[in-house]
Structure 1
Amino acid sequence: MPTDLRLCRSLLFLPASNPRAIEKARGLDADMIFLDLEDAVKPESKSEAREAAVQAATAGFGGRPVAIRVNKIGDPWHAEDVAAVSSSAADAMIVPKVQSAAELQSIRSGKPVLAMIETASGVIDAAAIARRTAGLIAGTNDLAADLGLPPGAGRRGLAYALQAIVVAARAAETVAFDGVYNRLEDDAGLVAECEEGRAFGFDGKTLIHPNQIDAANRIFGPGVEEIDAARRLIAAATGGAERFEGRMIEGMHVAQAERLLARARLAG
């Protein structure tokens, strides 16, 4: 994959059936592009969208990685989607609504797979799914519906599931991306959810509108203050437990600071 997935802060979903959105995305600052063949495409447009996604992946997005989301396992378009993506220039395949690791055995593709966890069953088997994939994506809209959460209840009812997805990804030494934020004109809400997602441990956030890119890039990327603090901590540490800027630190905190600086270096 051209870009380390750990560097992907912003992952923008685009309907593969929308050529104007695809063309516009080539000039955006999203770290990764997701071309969608599933929810964003009407049944009568599935074949056309599949061809458009393959063509868009071939044209590329300025060296940034691109993934294509196929229709879910069991859908009538799934097999053709998988075959098309497997032979395309896409860097990865996104498989939605993965219920179990066993389901993934039916997918024969040389592409890395990003599995979307969107059901209670998927959360329960997330650790096994993570071991078979290149990363996990929290499908928060479908997950909230599957769990029976009331509309407008926020993400309190998703806390266990979101943390389980991150834990599963970390145990498998892979990446985890947070779900989308639906309110397009609520900038404060987007920022709050990005901050929450980073606090949970997600590597980046999936997005549904270009206006959401800047917030995700800023919040999921190490900031200047974080980088400076990490450098100071490493320089001050002498081994063992000790006081640093009003708090106690030990080897674990040094390792954490070193990982943050490594991520900053990878991101340039």
Structure 2
Amino acid sequence: MRVIAIILVMALFASLEGCRSKQKPAAPEPPPKETKEKKETPVEPPPMVVETKKEEPAKNVKRNILQRTGTGKKLQDIHRALQMYANDNGGKLPPPYTKDASGKPLLSWRVRLLPYFEQDNLYRMFNQNEPWDSPTNKALLKYFPKIYQSSDDYEVKSVFKTTFLAPVANETVFPPEGGVSLAGVGDGASNTIFMVDADNEVATEWTRPVDLIVTKSFPHRGLGLSYAGGFMALFGDGSAQVIPAGQNSPANLWGLFTRAGGEAVRR
């Protein structure tokens, strides 16, 4: 009996060992994931806001560099028309305006140049014996030639005004009496301003016999606000450039306006 009991115990022990061997070993626990510590970015205090008065842009700055290029091209086209007019009229430039028998101004030089811009039909529609604001002539204002459309300001353009003005004074190439010969530009064409792109404030209807009156004491009137750096001018040699108003003394600018003053000038 004792032998049988020992055998049974041994058999039971062997059976338990077999069951243990059939069980799958427990999977090893995965190593803990490495977690990057999130570095906290130090929060800087917001900068102090100091209220400053914003500088207003130059009043009436109406063109950027690309627009200046278009303005210069138009001024150069006007110069070619002036040259053709002079060739057809004994070498003389047009007067700033036409006049009736009593000396009353009628129409601008801008109307006089229309045939040289292939605007013959429009030119013939004007009554040359009537002022610009007569019923017949005023009705033609709306046919605003693109060559004279100089400003992008709606308040200027919508009422058919231009800022391409002739400098009018006895000493310029556009004296009130007119009839200046190109040969009489003693200061040299490259040193003499023939035309300007003036400020919107002095714009005028394109047919109206009004331009920019310049004086020796105040030649900057109506100039210098068209661009941040100055105003654009057309010279007698056909070149167009921006004149830095702030850097130009009245004496130098006046010298550029005169046709035969003999002044030493700087462009």
* Global fold match (TM > 0.5): no
**Bigger radius of gyration:** 2
TM superposition score normalised by structure 1: 0.28
The structure with the greater share of residues assigned to strand is: 1
The structure with the greater share of residues assigned to helix is: 1
TM superposition score normalised by structure 2: 0.28
